[in-house]
Amino acid sequence: MRVMFVTTPTKAPGHHRVPLAWALRAAGHEVRLVDRPNLVADITRTGLTAVPIGEALEADENIAASDRLREGGGIAADVPGPEDLMRIEETRPEKLTYDFMHGVLTVMTTTVFRTFSPPRTIEELVAFAREWRPDLVLWDPLVFAGPVAAKACGAAHARLLYGLDMVALMRGRYLAAMAERPPEWREDPLEEWLGPVLERYGCSFGEDVVTGQWTIDPVPPSQQLPTGIRYVPMRHVPYNGPSVVPKWLRETPKRPRVCLSLTLPHPEVTGGDRVPVAALLEALGGLDVEVVAPSSPLLRDAERDLPGNVRVVDSAPLNELLPSCSVIIHQSDVWTLHTAFAHGVPQLVLPGELWDIPMRAVQVREAGAGLTVPDVEHATAGELRALLLRLLNEPSFARNAARLQRELMSTPAPSDTVARLERLTDRHRRRTA
C-alpha cells in the first residue's frame, strides 16, 4: 500500500516518525513524507522520500521571532502571548468550563492549527494526495491538512502521536460541555474552520477530522489519558539521527554516570529557561559522579565554570549514552523522556510549563521512576543534590524505571504494528472517482 505522512513543520518532533516509516518501507510499502520545502533536507537525511508542499515555514523560528519581538518592545510586556491563552494541558475540573475550553480551542485554531495548515498547504496537499492516491495518511495531531487530504482522496487516515493526547482529552470534555448547552449557544472553532474547507472537496466534517479514524500512540499504556478513542499502541523506538559512538562512551564508567540533558525546545515559551543552571552544576559538582551533558544554549554561558566531573559534549546520542547512566536529569521533553523509559533509567525532571510537559513530569513521579523538582526556578544546590542522592541510593527508583521499561518493551514494535495498520486501512479506505 501507499502511505503518506503529513508532518508538523518543525524539526523537533520529526524523529518519532522515522522508525514507523522505515518499518512500512521494510514491509514493502511505498512511503512519502510531506512537509514544507525548508524541511526536506531533514527528511531525506533519514533515507526517506520527501515531498515539498506549500511555502517554507519553520515553526521553531516563528516562535523565536515572537519572543524577540516581545523582548524588543514590539509587543507590550503586559499583553499575553498566544502560549498564555492556549493552556490545553489544564485538567482541573473547576477550570474546565465551556467558556474556558472554547477560548483555548479558539486560540489554538487561530494561532497553531491554521498556521500549520494554511490554504495553500491544504490545496497542494489535496492535489498531491489525489495524484499519488495513498491508501493511508498518517498525520501529526496538530496538522489538520492531513485528514482533509485523506478524505478528499478516499484514503484511510490516523493520527501519529508523539506525546500525551491533550487534543483528544480536551476535545472530549468540550463536546460534553457543548452538549449541555442549547443548540443555538454551541460553537465549535474547529468545525467552523474545517467544515467549509472540506465542503470544497465534496466532504463533510466529522470527529475523525479531529482525532483520526484511529490513533497510533507511543505512550506506555499505563500513562495514556482517558479519552475514550481508539488507540493502536506502538513502542517508542529511539531515533537520534546520524550519530557516532565516541571511544569514551564505549568504556565502562568508573563512577556512576549522570546524563544532564537541558534540550527542551523553545525554552522561552515552554519554561525551559527557568532552570537554575548554576545551582544545578554546584549540586552535581559536590557528588562522586561522572556527568555527561549534551551541549545546549542553557549550558553555553556556564561552560567556563564547569565542575571537574562535568563533561559537555557536542554530540551524544541518548540511545547510546543512557544504557551507561544511573540517572538522567532532563526537562520532560517527550523524546528524552521516552528514551529514558526505553532504557529503564531513573529521572530527575525539571519540568517546563506548556502543553503536556507538566503532566509528563507528574506521571514520572507517580510511577516511582523518578523525582520532580517542584519549584524549578528557585531550586537550590542543596535541594537538587538531595534529590539526586535519593535517585542514586534508593533502589526503588531503579526498580520502577525497569518496570516501565518492561511495559514499554511489551508493546508492539513499529515492525509489529504494520500488519494491524494494513487491516485498519482495508477497513477504512474509501475510493472516490
Distance set, CA 338 to CA 167, 322, 330, 361 (Å): 20, 11, 11, 12
Would you say 156 and 213 are in contact if contact means Cβ atoms under 8 Å apart? yes
Claim to verify: residue 225 and residue 251 sit in the same structural domain: no
In a domain, 325, yes or no: yes
Q: What's the mean pLDDT in 62-76?
A: 44
- Please tell me the total number of residues recorded for the chain in this structure: 433
Residue 410: Cβ within 10 Å count: 11
pLDDT at 267 over 60: no
Claim to verify: residue 194 and residue 260 sit in the same structural domain: no
CB environment 88-111: b (16+ within 10 A), e (fewer): bbbeeeeebebebbbebbbbbbeb
Would you say 22 and 48 are in contact if contact means Cβ atoms under 8 Å apart? yes
Claim to verify: residue 63 and residue 104 sit in the same structural domain: yes
Query: Rounded to whole angstroms, how far apart are CA atoms 332 and 336?
Result: 7
Claim to verify: residue 290 and residue 330 sit in the same structural domain: yes
Query: Rounded to whole angstroms, how far apart are CA atoms 149 and 53?
Result: 13
3-state class (DSSP) for residue 114:
helix
Q: What is the pLDDT of residues 129-173, one digit of tens each?
A: 999 999 999 999 999 999 999 999 999 999 999 889 999 999 999
Q: What is the pLDDT of residues 109-130, one digit of tens each?
A: 988 899 999 999 999 999 999 9
In a domain, 240, yes or no: no
What's the number of domains the chain is made of? 2
CA 219 to chain centre: 10
**Single-letter code of the amino acid located at 298:** L
Provide the pLDDT for residue 295. 80
Claim to verify: residue 159 and residue 261 sit in the same structural domain: no
In a domain, 242, yes or no: no
Claim to verify: residue 204 and residue 220 sit in the same structural domain: yes
Q: What is the pLDDT of residues 211-237, one digit of tens each?
A: 999 999 999 999 999 898 999 999 999
CATH number, domain of 399, equals 3.40.50.2000
Claim to verify: residue 127 and residue 56 sit in the same structural domain: yes
The residue with cell 499575553 is 80
As a whole-number percent, the residues of the chain with pLDDT over 90 amount to 59
Claim to verify: residue 256 and residue 160 sit in the same structural domain: no
Claim to verify: residue 216 and residue 271 sit in the same structural domain: no
pLDDT at 67 over 50: no
Domain, as residue range, for 176: 2-235+412-428
Claim to verify: residue 202 and residue 275 sit in the same structural domain: no
Claim to verify: residue 400 and residue 419 sit in the same structural domain: no
In a domain, 35, yes or no: yes
In a domain, 87, yes or no: yes
In a domain, 101, yes or no: yes
* Exposure on the CB side of residue 372, measured as CA atoms within 13 A: 19
In a domain, 433, yes or no: no
Q: Where are the alpha helices (DSSP H) in 40-132?
A: 40-44, 59-71, 82-85, 98-108, 114-116, 119-132
Residue 312: Cβ within 10 Å count: 17
In a domain, 241, yes or no: no
Query: Rounded to whole angstroms, how far apart are CA atoms 26 and 6?
Result: 20
Contacts (Cβ under 8 Å, ≥6 apart) of 75:
66, 69, 81
Query: Rounded to whole angstroms, how far apart are CA atoms 161 and 236?
Result: 10
Global pTM value = 0.89
Claim to verify: residue 345 and residue 229 sit in the same structural domain: no
